[in-house]
Amino acid sequence: MAETDDMSAPITRGELREELAALEQRLEQRIEQRLEQKLEQKLEQKLEQKLEQKLEQKLEQKLEQRFREQDERLDRKLDQRFREQDERFDNRLDQWGGALMDRMDRKFEEMRQELARLVSSSAEAGRSELRVIDDQYKDAARVARLEDAVFKPAPKRPARKRRSA
């Protein structure tokens, strides 16, 4: 069909069909283009969403793995530090305990010596007191014999028999 701007010119059925077919073809092309664009957009959106989900999952997994590794590493370091602190504490406690035992041994020895001195002096004091008592009675046997000799009661006479009247 010849392109004219005159809308009052008569056209034939064939020309109309050609024009309608061309219009239909252009419309189909536009629809297909728009559908393809929309489909591509939808597909891109879906792909982006899927990709984001996958990336998030991967990132989450990597982060979890990283955190686990860091946590394990930190646990190992803390365990090592605690073991070292325990060893240092045990060593210091052993030193302190040894020093305390030495002090207690020295104090015990001092107390033992002091007790021995006190017991010895107490025993000496007891012996001194006993000597005083012994001195008082040392001559008691001799004095008793002397007293017997001096104050000896007169021998007892045999009793007289009474006469009966």
Encode pLDDT of 1-58 as tens digits.
455 567 788 888 888 899 899 999 999 999 999 988 998 899 899 999 998 999 999 9
- Assigned domain for 2 exists: no
pLDDT digits 0-9 by tens, 49-91: 998 999 999 999 999 999 999 999 999 999 999 999 999 999 9
Separation of alpha carbons 114 and 112, rounded Å? 5
Distance of CA 38 to the CA centre of its chain: 64
Contact 1, 19 (CB under 8 A): yes
Q: What residues have CB less than 8 Å from 88, skipping those under 6 apart?
A: none
Specify if 154 maps to a domain.
no
Q: Which domain holds residue 133?
A: 14-149
Structural domain contains residue 165:
no
Number of separate domains in the chain: 1
Q: pTM higher than 0.75 for the full model?
A: no
The answer as to whether 159 is a domain residue is no
Q: Rounded to whole angstroms, how far apart are CA atoms 90 and 68?
A: 32
**CA angle centred on 19, ends 16 and 23, rounded to 5°:** 135
| Residues 21, 10: Cα–Cα separation, whole Å | 18
User: Is 98 within the bounds of a domain?
Assistant: yes
| Residue 103 lies inside a defined structural domain of this protein | yes
Is 5 contained in some domain? no
> For the chain, where are the alpha helices, taking DSSP H only?
13-138, 140-150
Sort residue 125 into left (φ over 0), alpha (ψ -120 to 50) or beta: alpha
Position 161 in a domain: no
In angstroms, how far apart are the furthest CA atoms of the chain? 219
